[in-house]
Amino acid sequence: QVQLVESGGGLVQAGGSLRLSCVASGRTFSSYAMGWFRQAPGKEREAVAAISRGGSATSYVDSVKGRFTISRSNAKNTVYLQMNSLKAEDTAVYYCAADRGYGPRLSQSDYDYWGQGTQVTVSS
């Protein structure tokens, strides 16, 4: 069992930056690939980025490439999402999730554990 707690969301102007963090409980964080997903009002949840167990491989959805960076610290049981050049369309609840596979995978069905989410609002 893995428990995930996200933080770092908030209100930011378009063009600004935020860094999301997700802390995982347990001693086996490095055994999971990790991902970030988001759900905007009235829309389905979608993938944003994923990172492999060791952090050497990453994957991004096209809409965030070049603006968002996913990283992890296995020593701190934490995965991060650095978000730059934010746009109004990035407004959503952001969730982190843990995948028992090696990753990085962007399909929600591959993920076994989910956090509660953190709200990101970008004003235009």
Burial readout 90-107 (b: 16 or more C-beta within 10 A, e: otherwise): bbbbbbbbbbeeebbbbe
Structure confidence by residue, pLDDT tens digits, 10-66: 999 999 999 999 999 977 999 999 999 999 999 999 999 999 999 999 999 999 999
The pLDDT value recorded for residue 45 is 98
Distance in angstroms (rounded) separating the CA atoms of residues 77 and 23:
6
Structure confidence by residue, pLDDT tens digits, 65-94: 999 999 999 999 999 999 999 999 999 999
The pLDDT value recorded for residue 73 is 98
Structure confidence by residue, pLDDT tens digits, 100-118: 999 999 999 999 999 999 9
Distance in angstroms (rounded) separating the CA atoms of residues 11 and 4:
22
Two structure tokens written together for 37: 């997903």
96 touches 34 (CB < 8 A): yes
The pLDDT value recorded for residue 27 is 75
Cα dist. 104→16, 39, 99, 116 in Å? 27, 20, 9, 21
The pLDDT value recorded for residue 97 is 98
pLDDT score of 1 more than 90: no
